[in-house]
Amino acid sequence: MSSSVSVLLFGISRDLTGQSAISVPLREGANVENLLSQLHQDYPALAGIRSLLVAVNGEYAEMDQVLSQRDEIALIPPVSGG
């Protein structure tokens, strides 16, 4: 069984996809690593971003965190400041 999760995009990830949010189909029980793999397949340019972090429900997520359709997911690209 599969479902979709909504992913918010910021910074360079938004620029590379041309969207501020995308829907990503994932199988039940998928984790953050599965999500990133699917995103890299659908949007190959995202694979070039080093240090891309994933936040789930407002907190940084580990690669093995299981995702739910109700989760708020965001891609956090590296930021520079000065």
The model carries a pTM of 0.89
**pLDDT band of 80, cuts 50, 70, 90:** low
Domain ranges of the chain: 2-76
Q: Residue 2: its pLDDT value, please?
A: 73
The CA distance from 45 to 3, in Å, is 24
Buried b (16+ CB within 10 A) or exposed e, 7-16: bbbeebbbeb
With a CB cutoff of 8 Å and minimum separation 6, the contacts of 67 are 5, 26, 30, 31, 32, 34, 35, 56, 73
Residue given tokens 């953050």 in the structure block: 32
Q: Residue 22: its pLDDT value, please?
A: 95
Is the domain covering 2-76 a CATH 3.10.20.30 domain?
yes
With a CB cutoff of 8 Å and minimum separation 6, the contacts of 17 are 9, 43, 45, 46
Q: Residue 15: its pLDDT value, please?
A: 94
pLDDT in tens, 21-74: 999 999 999 999 999 999 999 999 999 998 899 999 999 999 999 999 999 999
Q: Residue 1: its pLDDT value, please?
A: 60
